[in-house]
Structure 1
Amino acid sequence: MNSYKPEQGANNWNPFEFMEQLQGDQNTAADTSWVEGFVKEAMDRAFRGAVRTSAEPRRSGGSSRVEQFETHKNVIIKIPLPYMSPDIRTYAGEESLKLEGAPPHIPALIRFRSVVEPTSGRAVYRSGILQLTFRKRPPENRFHEIRIRY
């Protein structure tokens, strides 16, 4: 980067010469076009991982539009189903939801993002969406007192 060096004397400063010098420095600045590719690649990796953890493993290679989100107290899963068959069964564990009899584009196992109370589950089918709601399990007190003997 070129640095502007005015001639000796306080009254000899030329602002136009200074501006020309600055513009010349910008034209010779380092090439930053690599930044866009780097950011795009990092974002792709981040989102690829997020999609994989919300609905793995998949039953088939088809894409699933299963949505999972959390409130302070609940985990909610929305599964689009074109029809509700009496053959579709749902089973909940503390860490995952298992579906049986669902169409092949729906994952057979969906991992919860938080640990839930399996017995608190409620399922409602309305307007082509199966919505399941589970209460989050409160965090356990991980500290136990250890008495000291004297």
Structure 2
Amino acid sequence: MKRNPRSSSGFDASWVEQYVHNILKQTLPKSDLHAGSKGYDVETTETRQHVTVKVYVSDPSEAKRLQVEAAATQIRLSLKDRDAEQRIQLLHPVIPSSCRAVYKDGVLQLQLRKQEKEELFYNINVQFV
């Protein structure tokens, strides 16, 4: 056991963080969808009846190539001309067929009604304003 002089217990647990990071990196799906980066910036909020997901896509031409699919517990984004995808985990199950999607001013906003059971992915039509 390593001793850490700064820790009150004397145990150095810094290796645990690195170990967990490595395991998560190996098990979670890669999301190199957006020009080789880690994916789009995403913001998820909830109300009593809805889950709202904002996906920041600054390039309108790229947004038009974006395919959006919804499942009960996640959103899947993929570019039509690439083999990469990004999955967004939702904190509450939703009704995928209830999804409304609007792209405006660099933000793709998805609004889904909450539900209690899981369903399959549904293709979502995006309305460009």
Fold conserved (TM > 0.5)?
yes
Which has a greater percent of strand? 2
Decide which structure has the larger Cα Rg and report it: 1
1:95 maps to what in 2?
73
Partner of 2:56: 80
Task: Please state how far the C-alpha of 1:117 moved relative to its aligned partner.
Answer: 0.2
Higher percent of residues as helix:
1
Confirm or deny that 1:108 pairs with 2:86. Answer: yes
Number of aligned residue pairs: 99
Please report how far the alpha carbon of residue 68 of structure 1 lies from its aligned counterpart in structure 2 after TM superposition. 1.2
Structure 2 counterpart of 1:88, one-letter code: L
| Paired amino acid for 1:82 | S
TM-score for both structures, normalised by structure 1: 0.49
What is the TM-score normalised by the length of structure 2?
0.56
Q: 1:128 aligned to 2:106?
A: yes
* 1:70 to 1:107, Cα distance in 2 relative to 1, 3 A: farther
CA distance in 2, matches of 1:75, 1:58: 24
Q: 2: CA distance between counterparts of 1:57 and 1:110?
A: 11
| TM alignment of 1:1-150, pairs within 5 A | 34=7, 57-60=29-32, 62-64=37-39, 65-85=41-61, 86-101=64-79, 108-138=86-116
Does the 8 Å contact 2:68/2:78 carry over to 1? Answer: yes
SS in structure 1 at match of 2:97: helix
Report the Cα distance in structure 1 between the residues aligned to 2:92 and 2:106, rounded to whole angstroms.
26
Q: Which runs of 5+ in 2 are unaligned?
A: 1-5, 118-129
Q: Does the aligned pair in 2 maintain the 1:58–1:109 contact within 8 Å?
A: no
Q: Distance in 2 between matches of 1:92 and 1:84?
A: 21
Q: Unpaired runs of 5+ in structure 1?
A: 1-32, 39-43, 140-150
AA partner of residue 67 (structure 1):
E
In structure 2, the residue corresponding to 1:108 is in which secondary structure? strand
Once the two structures are aligned, what percentage of the paired residues are identical?
28
Distance change (3 Å), C-alpha of 1:110 and 1:57: farther
Secondary structure, counterpart of 1:119 in structure 2: helix
